Structure 1
Amino acid sequence: MRTPFVFTSCIALFMTACSSSIPYEEREEIRQSIDDESEQLIEELAEVYPEIHAQLEEAEGYATGVMSNIKVPLVGGGTGIGAVYNNVDDSTTYIDLYRYDVGAGLGLSSYRMISVLDTPENLEKFSEGFSESSWGTDWNISASGIETEQVYYLEDSEIPTYLVFESSASAVGSARLMSVSVNEELTETGVGNAKFANHESAGDESNPKWDRPLPFFAQDVVDQGFSLPLPFGISILYAETKQDMTISGLEAGFSGINGGSTIPMEFMSFDNNYSHSQTPQLKIDAWVFPFMNVFATVGKVNGMAHVEFQSDGSVGNGIGDAIIESPICSRPGPGKPDFCDSWNGSNGWDAALDVDLDGWNYTIGATFAAGWRDYFLAIPVSVSYIDMKHARAEELVFSVSPRVGKQIPLKDTSSVDVYIGVSYLDSTLTIYGEHYGQLPDDMHITYKIEQENIDKWMGLVGASYNFNRSWAIQAEYGQNGSDKRQFVSSLTRRF
């Protein structure tokens, strides 16, 4: 019969293993404890079911685990830890066990289990992790495991399983979700909790084996003590940017002159020009090399560009006479536009335009990044092309955003990243359009404007909450005085 100390140590074992990242120096001791517990469980079951040895040897493999569950009205759950022993290649995969309950009842139980993985499919299922829902009832009351154990063999279940209840008091009817996931630290896959390649050890305490297709040369850096993030990612992003712009030149023409072709307007001046855009985006990325991630995004651009301009009252580039004599300005009566007088060198005129920005954003880029313990450095570099609807505007954006930060480990594999940095963004926007104000007979001014952002640099702060290695949310804010502001948020799934 097992002693209270052995069972207590087993519970302490899985509580430790399911906490945050396990240091290299502690992993071997935990693995050995799990293996010893598994062997002892098999020997105990053999006293009741002598055929278990032959059954396990003939199977593809078997999974062991220890679980502790609690159920209060409406909700409940449990955690555990175990291992999958592969008889085909003699490998061992260490696993975390989770159970979630929703339903009526009360319960408190602790048990050990062995599942016989009698098919390759079941072996693969437990070795790679899975989630499975079910509906069930528990009706049992037992004494402490010191004196009495309840032993069951669930032969008719999808996966033959032995259960040993060490303590149990429950009356539960609930919907359940059972989740099995690979414990990356104990199994030593080389996958870490950080978003970037992170140096965790001197590389001589363990021998992780990287078995994923990317990144290239992963095994080389894993052997040096680095852990790596999951190689592929897909994200949903939202970016909102407002920044002052400068006009580098204007070309304009009248629809009734020279077919409406535009020519430079050097006598125009501009003030209070800015753009404001919102861009939801879809992003995919992959770690091609351990310290280099490549990505591409596509997004919908919505917003506006505000342009204010005025003439200095002079005639420019030899077109004044043609404009003055044109039907627009030569017609008698009150229908003549106010700006016609500016072409006689008298009074200037001004106008303000709000141009709708409606189009698509296409981005390619790379992030160069590495971490040391809980600190990291990341340098994203990208080039974006923005194509507005009906070719009303075209924009080319170059950006680089170095940032440094720290990861703060939390419970299980969750963590919070906080960082600061700077962003350099060079944006050139070409706007095409027509102006119909005060012009008769559907005549209009055609124009072309080159805009460029004034403030290239801004400071930024950001944070992300990493639910686990696979899911994370992030928010980032950047600003340069009151003239440039940017907010970016994202939801990321890694696999």
Structure 2
Amino acid sequence: MSVVTKWCGGLLLLVLAGCSSLPANELQQVREQVDWKTREALDQFLKDVPGLEQELEQSVGYVVGTSDVLLLGPLGGSNAVAVLHDNREQSRLYLDVHSLRMGFGLGAKGGRFLAVIHDPDLLAQLRHGKWLIKPGASSNVGAQNGALRYRNDELALFVSSDSGVSAGAGMKVSQVSVNQRLSNTAQSSYNFPSKNSAHTQNQQAPRYWGHTLPFLGKRAVERGFNLPMPLGVGVVRADVRQEMRIEHLEVGFNGNGTRPYDFVFFGAESDLITEQVKLDAWVLPFLNLYGTFGQVNGDLDLDIAIDGNAMLDQIGKDCTGIIRPPVCYLFENKQVRFPVTADLSPMNYGVGGVVASGWHDWFLLIPFNVTWTDSDKAVLEGRALTISPRLGRGFAMNRAGRVTLFAGGNYLDVRTVITGSLAIPGTEQILDYKVDQKNSDRWNLVAGANWDITPRLSLMLEYDGFIGSRDAFISALTVRF
């Protein structure tokens, strides 16, 4: 009994779906079985179709595949294994073909097919996975030397079987996807580049990276690194509460401008929720760059006091007479305390990057970014600088993907300018203010987890706190392609 039948119950097609956990040596024997069956299919087509060899040489590539069981009928499904040969790069890629036919026709066992590809765009699409929807019969479909043929500008398709040519009519929907285990595509199971001693070049299944990004990606793959899918789109939510410190205060009255004032600071706290869209790309094997944009919503509470006599001088009130203005009783020889609450909803945008690398299941990440906040009403303007080194380890969850746990530090430098006005109780005066502030504590600790559900989908949860006066909860959902 062969390795294939021993592990998968007899059908080669089921190897691809049911043997994802095969050890490397058994996986190589499965790959050899696939190569043998597809070479046999190609030799048969070369024998049956005159001029096919020359057409193959002139093509950009071709797909040859076999199906041990081909089920047609009112609602039938077929599965096939195929090998994509790229004539330009002299490489090959193993494909899964999952099909659904709706219509009628005749069935056959031992089916095989050959698609000679003339369109480079189609070849690129097949290398990244593609849905194909095509009619099952038309005026340009017919039998030629024992093979059913379909031809258009993109490809020439030949289909045959051991027990006769299949024929029918209807619509066929096929999903072509890369078999990651057989193809050795160097795609990382994590969302960061990683190296493993098992990630080596293999003549039977050369390591392959079919994306333009990152630059130098093919060289990194040749040196044993697996890479995440290069592009990402995500949504990020951050709930941040932290203490702030006032650096500079300017005060004015009734819209007549502001000037610096000596002040006493009692405290300030911001409680903000930021929701952003994030676009990122791995531009180098170990460097990811990204941009974000979104909106901030929350409150800022300030508690400050200024000298009452200085306020009276600025608004031009004389408190030396017998009949004194009411504001004199409120401010003269007193320290006037103003609690200020600002309701904030400015726009937020930023740029940043991640320097990352992994060894086996361990990894080191150093994210960094600069974010700017800008309000149309000039209520809040500022910028924030973040650097957050972290170390972690990944764990396989079988069919549930992989989970990485990480911990590290977070440096956050926030500098903002808040402007606004408030009515002074008991008077007709309007106090105008401008406050420069920064966060009280720059460093704190970070702990979190990232769940790579698939290489295309990941969920991240992070707590930023433990020490200092800042508490932050951050979550992100990212789709990669």
Structure 1 residue 269, shift from structure 2 partner: 3.0
Q: Compared with structure 1, are the counterparts of its residues 321 and 237 closer, same or farther at alpha carbon in structure 2 (3 Å cutoff)?
A: closer
| TM-score relative to the length of structure 2 | 0.76
Contact in 2 for aligned 1:235/1:493 (Cα 8 Å): yes
Q: Which residue of 1 aligns with 2:286?
A: 291
Residue among 476, 481, 488 paired with 2:462: 476
Aligned equivalent of 2:244? 245
The answer for the alignment partner of 1:201 in structure 2 is 197
Distance in 2 (alpha carbons) for counterparts of 1:482 and 1:176: 61
What is the Cα deviation at residue 355 of structure 1? 1.0
Correspondence for 1:13 among 12, 15, 25: 15
Shift of 1:447: 1.0
Shift of 1:132: 3.1
Number of positions where the alignment pairs a residue of Structure 1 with one of Structure 2: 449
Q: Which whole-Å CA distance do the structure 2 matches of 1:438 and 1:125 have between them?
A: 69
- Which residue of structure 2 aligns with residue 322 of structure 1? 313
* Distance in 2, Cα, partners of 1:377 & 1:25: 31
Alignment correspondent of 2:186: 190
Matching residue of 2:329: 341
CA RMSD between the two structures: 4.4
Q: Do the aligned partners of residues 380 and 260 (structure 1) sit closer, same or farther apart at CA in structure 2, a change above 3 Å counting? A: same
Opposite residue 455 of structure 2, the aligned amino acid is R
Against the structure 1 CA distance between its residues 487 and 211, is the aligned structure 2 distance closer, same or farther, given a 3 Å change threshold?
Answer: same
Distance across 1 between alignment mates of 2:463 and 2:427:
47
Equivalent residue, structure 1, for 2:115: 116
Amino acid at match of 1:405: G
Partner of 1:433: 420
Q: 2: CA distance between counterparts of 1:494 and 1:183?
A: 18
Residue 424 of structure 1: aligned partner: 411
- Could you tell me how far 1:130 is from its partner in structure 2? 0.4
What is the CA–CA distance in structure 2 between the aligned matches of 1:225 and 1:306, rounded to whole Å? 53
Q: Does 1:379 align with 2:374?
A: no
Matched, 1:404 2:399: no
Amino acid at match of 1:224: R
C-alpha spacing 1:164/1:299, structure 2 compared with 1 (3 Å): same
Partner of 1:31: 31
Structure 1 pair 324–290 and aligned structure 2 pair: CA distance change class (3 A): closer
| Residue type at the aligned position of 2:289 | V
C-alpha separation between the residues in 2 aligned to 1:419 and 1:79?
Answer: 41
For the residue of structure 2 that corresponds to 1:490, the secondary structure is strand
Describe the shift of the 1:410–1:331 C-alpha distance in structure 2 as closer, same or farther (beyond 3 A): farther
Q: Give the superposition deviation at 1:393.
A: 1.9
Shift of 1:276: 1.7
- Between the aligned partners of 2:312 and 2:374, the Cα distance in structure 1 is 37
Cα distance in 2 for partners of 1:78, 1:330 equals: 101
Alpha-carbon shift at residue 198 of structure 1 (Å): 0.5
- Post-superposition offset of 1:299: 2.0
| Match of residue 143 from structure 1 | none
Match of 2:221 in 1: 222
- Are the equivalent residues in 2 in contact too, given 1:433–1:447 (CA < 8 A)? yes
Unaligned runs of 5+ in 1: 104-108, 137-151, 167-173
**Conservation of the 8 A alpha-carbon contact between 1:479 and 1:486:** yes
Query: In the alignment, which residue of structure 2 is the partner of 1:162?
Result: 159
Alignment of 1:64-79 (within 5 A): 64-66=65-67
Pairing 1:456-475 to 2, within 5 Å after superposition? 456-475=442-461
CA distance 1:125–1:369, change in 2 (3 Å): closer
Q: Is the 8 A contact 1:358 1:389 kept in 2?
A: no
1:129 alignment counterpart: 129
Partner Cα separation in structure 2 for residue 329 and residue 392 of structure 1: 37
Deviations 1:84-121 (A, max 9, x none): 234676532211334579x9xxxxx9975424335436
Shift of 1:481: 6.3
The amino acid of 2:333's aligned partner reads: G
1:446 aligns with 2:432: yes
For the residue of structure 2 that corresponds to 1:13, the secondary structure is: helix
Partner of 2:478: 492
Return the alpha-carbon distance in structure 2 between the equivalents of residues 120 and 165 of structure 1. Answer: 30
Asked if 1 retains the 8 angstrom alpha-carbon contact of 2:12 and 2:68, the reply is no
**In the TM superposition, what is the alpha-carbon distance from 1:243 to its structure 2 partner?**
1.6
Question: Identity, % of aligned pairs?
Answer: 25
Shift of 1:291: 1.7
| Secondary structure of residue in 2 paired with 1:93 | strand
Q: Does 1:355 align with 2:342?
A: yes
Pick closer, same or farther for the CA change 1:269–1:490 going to 2, 3 Å: closer
Q: Distance in 1 between matches of 2:171 and 2:406?
A: 41
